[in-house]
Amino acid sequence: MKKKNKRIQSVETSLVAFDLDGTLTTTACRSSWQFVHEFFGTWETHGKAILQRFIRGEISYYEFCKADAEVWKRQTEDEYHEALSKVELREGASELIAFLKEQGCIIIILSMGLIDLVERIGLKLDLDHWIGNELIRNNNRITGEVKINIGWQEKGIVLRRVLKEYQILPQNSIAIGDSTADIEMFEVAGASIAIEPSSERVAEAVDFVCQTTNLKEIFSFFETFNDLQ
């Protein structure tokens, strides 16, 4: 579904910034942190309550992520990677990335999810750049520590920084995501796309909404790009 008019003129030689969880991956993994909780069996016992504390404003985003990591301290690195190996890409992801590469686009991932999953997908799809948050391990064990590279409501700031590094104007960028955490990124980019958006607020923040599981639907947005004027 095409929505409001935006500034970008052509997809060629643009920078395309993807969210990962729930955007390039299936909705079974809207949050890689929650996905790991569910794999370890700690979502109902710990993870859900930690999320509610963050939503109520009782803890910061760093404290939220660290509390998740603390729950997993007894888990091995091998078990952690086994959990991430269960995450699947959406249908059409490889085809979409191939199309964007043909247009000469720089393709990046900006994710508040776990960097180990971000990197795995970034390498698999041969992307140009990726940023995610780090779960620290030592001696094959999760330590309970984290490093936050993208904080809550920071995706817009990070996108601006990356655009500056690549010497690309914001109006020559496209942001693709699925949740409220992506709205700041949508506001910076010249055009924006929501993949099965998590709320009406997200749907209203973008130029194009993809409501199917297959990312090939986005091709219709690019095919009619010049009609957005």
Strand locations in 19-149 (E): 106-114, 129-138, 141-147
Residue range of the domain that includes 64: 33-85
Per-residue model confidence as pLDDT tens for the chain (229 residues): 434 445 555 566 689 999 999 999 998 999 999 999 999 999 999 999 999 999 999 999 999 999 999 999 989 999 999 999 999 999 999 999 999 999 899 999 999 999 999 999 999 999 999 999 999 999 999 999 999 999 999 999 999 999 999 999 999 999 999 999 999 999 999 999 999 999 999 999 999 999 999 999 898 887 765 444 4
Statement to judge: residues 62 and 134 lie in one domain: no
- Report how far residue 41's alpha carbon sits from residue 227's, in angstroms, rounded to the nearest whole number: 48
How many domains does the chain divide into? Answer: 2
Statement to judge: residues 93 and 81 lie in one domain: no
Statement to judge: residues 100 and 72 lie in one domain: no
Statement to judge: residues 148 and 38 lie in one domain: no
Decide: 17 and 159 in contact? Cβ < 8 Å: yes
Helices H / strands E in the chain, number of each: 10, 7
Statement to judge: residues 115 and 76 lie in one domain: no
Residues 6+ apart with CB under 8 A from 112: 21, 132, 133, 150, 151, 152, 155, 181
* 15: its two tokens: 């920078």
Statement to judge: residues 56 and 122 lie in one domain: no
